[in-house]
């Protein structure tokens, strides 16, 4: 058995109850095979793959808080500090009832390679809780965030680990957590990103993941002799990533006809009205039924279904494993040309394979959604120099980063004779930098 297969077996045995983590590891290890085989003896002696698949540190803690009825509630908090070879741990916090250690580990593992692809000095980490912000009052959310940070603040710092948002964590939650960190540590520092603009946040961070997704999609299309103009786009999700992906797609002359949330989805033949969507989701925190009620051209459907709509480009922007093999078949049958992931691991492994084998250009999340964390790293730079850059400055850096990522993953795929396989290209390009840094730093 070769080195990769030995490690894969061991990872599967040790983490048998963590299917999402195993899925993420399998995708990376299977595709970096040619890069590993070129240096197999060296990597095996250094146990590089055993080290890269084992988090440097996992913190799990109790989060007690009091609800509006005076009842004490208890949630679980996590921070997985996965790899600090190229910089301080960096990655979001997810608040969602489905959160468990395996999900946070998969996200932390992905983050190592994504952060490497940005070209910026950030390591990989992720955290969160099984707390559900849905239906909670602002006071309850604040009570939870303060309790969560009371424990988390011992483990993070601006040069150690810098969390940010993810599902269920946006500007409101980051604000409450920043306030509590500052109060306990008595330090005004850039320990979180995605902060409000009045207390150290960066312009364009809110938009960055969605905008970055469209910048890389546009570059992909351009390099295949196409433009975004006039394209029909299908988007899933209706949160931070989806909203700004839709906005930028429209600015580029495409028409986005769908979005979805955890209960249903919208088909809007006139194109999604972003301002209305923002009002429903960002301001009212309501369901998409309110969008449909306010707009004649919109149909609301319960359940899932956006991938059945005919499109040129599909952008999954909700959550992991939301695009299955049967969805991939439908997309191919409808003539879809490109799938670029805004969410983390939204496409199952068999769906990915099917899309690639049927000539659909496919860019995986660790490349295509890297604009969010890249802009977080730009927020860290601004905090360090105690200055704020203009929206245009940040946005133009973001665009350069995304275009560079496209060419780096394209080149890496070509170097290993896998032209057009952007999953292999992303994983190899992300891995090479981290592996070199780990080797140089000795056995740690
Ligand atoms: P939000 O919480 O802002 O939005 C998530 C959206 O997906 C919501 O509309 C939510 O529905 C919908 N959704 C549908 N099904 C599910 C489900 N099973 N679990 C959770 N959400 C579901 O999150 P983001 O937009 O920030 O994140 C979306 C994806 O993008 C995630 O995979 C995240 O990891 C990834 N990502 C986020 C980045 C960021 O900067 N925020 C950066 C890079 C990746 P509802 O409205 O009903 O809650
Ligand atoms: O998945 C991700 O890259 C994020 N949720 C953003 C992380 C960050 O640190 O901005």
Mean pLDDT, range 413-442, rounded to an integer: 98
Atom of ligand 1 nearest to the CA of 194: 40
Residue 249 lies in a domain: yes
Q: What angle do CA 214, 348, 435 make, to 5 degrees?
A: 75
Share of the chain above pLDDT 90, in %: 100
Contacts of residue 81, defined as CB under 8 A and 6 or more positions apart, other chains included, come to 55, 56, 57, 58, 59, 89, 108, 123, 125, 155, 161
User: Which residue's alpha carbon is at the smallest distance from atom 9 of ligand 2?
Assistant: 91
Give the mutation target among 239, 259, 315 for probing the ligand 1 site: most ligand atoms within 8 A of CB: 239
Q: Which of 333, 352, 368 is the last residue of a domain?
A: 368
Centre of ligand 2 to C-alpha 104, Å, is 12
238-276 pLDDT, tens digit per residue, is: 999 999 999 999 999 999 999 999 999 999 999 999 999
Residue 26 lies in a domain: yes
Q: Indicate the pLDDT class of residue 1, thresholds 50, 70 and 90.
A: confident
Q: What angle do CA 53, 354, 22 make, to 5 degrees?
A: 20
Q: What is the number of the ligand closest to the CA of 209?
A: 1
Q: Are residues 174 and 288 in the same domain?
A: no
C-beta 129 within 6 A of ligand 2: no
Q: Are residues 160 and 29 in the same domain?
A: no
Structural tokens at position 397: 């850096």
C-beta 164 within 6 A of ligand 2: yes
Mean pLDDT score of the chain, rounded to an integer? 98
Q: Which of 90, 105, 114, 126 is catalytic?
A: 126
Q: Are residues 60 and 45 in the same domain?
A: no
Residue 38's pLDDT is what? 92
CB-CB neighbours of 110 under 10 Å = 28
Atom of ligand 1 nearest to the CA of 107: 34
254 phi, psi to nearest 5 deg: -90, 170
Q: Which of 49, 68, 85 is the last residue of a domain?
A: 49
Q: Are residues 234 and 264 in the same domain?
A: yes
Active-site residue, 126 included: yes
Q: Indicate the pLDDT class of residue 127, thresholds 50, 70 and 90.
A: very high
C-beta 343 within 6 A of ligand 1: yes
User: Which residue's alpha carbon is at the smallest distance from atom 23 of ligand 1?
Assistant: 167
Q: Which residue has the tokens 């429903």?
A: 280
Give the mutation target among 79, 80, 91, 398 for probing the ligand 2 site: most ligand atoms within 8 A of CB: 91
The closest alpha carbon to 413, from 363, 368, 373, belongs to 363
Residue 410 lies in a domain: no
User: Which residue's alpha carbon is at the smallest distance from atom 14 of ligand 1?
Assistant: 262
> What is the total count of domains within the chain?
3
Q: Are residues 230 and 292 in the same domain?
A: yes
Q: Are residues 358 and 242 in the same domain?
A: yes
Residue 262 lies in a domain: yes
Mean pLDDT, range 211-235, rounded to an integer: 98
Structural tokens at position 248: 């930028």
* Full domain range(s) for residue 42: 1-49
User: Which residue's alpha carbon is at the smallest distance from atom 5 of ligand 1?
Assistant: 239
Q: At what angle do helices 391-415 and 101-117 cross, to 10 degrees?
A: 90
Structural tokens at position 443: 């056995």
Atom of ligand 1 nearest to the CA of 243: 25
Q: Are residues 89 and 166 in the same domain?
A: yes
Q: Indicate the pLDDT class of residue 178, thresholds 50, 70 and 90.
A: very high
How far is 406 from 368, CA to CA, in rounded Å?
Answer: 8
pLDDT of 195 over the 90 cut = yes
The closest alpha carbon to 173, from 158, 159, 152, belongs to 152
Centre of ligand 2 to C-alpha 265, Å, is 25
Residue 383 lies in a domain: no
Residue 172's pLDDT is what? 98
CB-CB neighbours of 184 under 10 Å = 13
| CATH code, domain with 97 | 3.40.50.10860
Structural tokens at position 166: 């993810």
336-394 pLDDT, tens digit per residue, is: 999 999 999 999 999 999 999 999 999 999 999 999 999 999 999 999 999 999 999 99
Helix (H) or strand (E) holding 260: strand 258-260
The pairing of beta strand 298-302 with beta strand 313-316:
unpaired
Structural tokens at position 209: 């993941």
Atom of ligand 2 nearest to the CA of 369: 3
Q: Which of 349, 368, 387 is the last residue of a domain?
A: 368
86-114 pLDDT, tens digit per residue, is: 999 999 999 999 999 999 999 999 999 99
Q: Do 204 and 375 contact (CB within 8 A), yes or no? A: yes
Residue 164 lies in a domain: yes
Residue 82's pLDDT is what? 99
């Amino acid at each position: 058995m070769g080195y990769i297969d030995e490690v894969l077996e061991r990872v599967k045995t040790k983490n048998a109850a963590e299917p999402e983590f195993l899925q993420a590891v399998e995708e990376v290890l299977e595709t970096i095979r040619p890069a590993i085989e070129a240096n197999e003896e060296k990597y095996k002696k250094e146990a590089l793959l055993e080290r890269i698949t084992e988090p440097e540190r996992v913190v799990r803690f109790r989060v007690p808080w009091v609800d509006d009825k005076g009842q004490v509630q208890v949630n679980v908090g996590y921070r997985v500090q996965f790899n600090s070879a190229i910089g301080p741990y960096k990655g979001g916090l997810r608040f969602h009832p489905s959160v468990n250690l395996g999900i946070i580990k998969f996200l932390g593992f992905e983050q190592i390679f994504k952060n490497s692809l940005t070209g910026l000095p950030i390591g990989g980490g992720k955290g969160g809780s099984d707390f559900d912000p849905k239906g909670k009052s602002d006071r309850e959310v604040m009570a939870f965030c303060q309790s969560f940070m009371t424990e988390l603040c011992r483990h993070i710092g601006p040069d150690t680990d810098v969390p940010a948002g993810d599902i269920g964590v946006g500007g409101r939650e980051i604000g409450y957590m920043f306030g509590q960190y500052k109060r306990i540590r008595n330090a005004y520092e850039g320990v979180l990103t995605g902060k409000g603009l009045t207390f150290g946040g960066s312009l364009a961070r809110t938009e960055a993941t969605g905008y970055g997704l469209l910048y890389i999609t546009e570059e992909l299309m351009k390099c295949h002799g196409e433009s975004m103009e006039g394209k029909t786009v299908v988007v899933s999700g209706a949160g931070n990533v989806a909203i700004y992906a839709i906005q930028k797609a429209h600015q580029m002359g495409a028409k986005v006809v769908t979005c979805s949330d955890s209960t249903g989805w919208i088909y809007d033949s006139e194109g999604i009205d972003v301002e209305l969507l923002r009002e429903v989701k960002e301001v009212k925190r309501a369901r998409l039924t309110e969008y449909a009620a306010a707009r004649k051209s919109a149909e609301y459907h319960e359940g899932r279904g956006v991938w059945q709509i005919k499109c040129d480009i599909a952008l999954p922007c909700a959550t992991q494993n939301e695009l299955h093999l049967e969805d991939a078949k439908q997309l191919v049958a409808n003539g879809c040309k490109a799938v670029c992931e805004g969410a983390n691991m939204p496409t199952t492994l068999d769906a990915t394979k099917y899309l690639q084998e049927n000539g659909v250009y496919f860019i995986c999340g660790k490349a295509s959604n890297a604009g969010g964390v890249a802009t977080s790293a730009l927020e860290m730079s601004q905090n360090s120099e105690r200055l704020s850059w203009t929206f245009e400055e940040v946005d133009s850096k973001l665009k350069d980063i995304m275009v560079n990522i496209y060419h780096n993953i394209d080149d890496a795929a070509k170097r290993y004779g896998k032209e057009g396989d952007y999953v292999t290209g992303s994983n190899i390009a992300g891995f090479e930098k981290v592996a070199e840094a780990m080797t140089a730093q000795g056995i740690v």
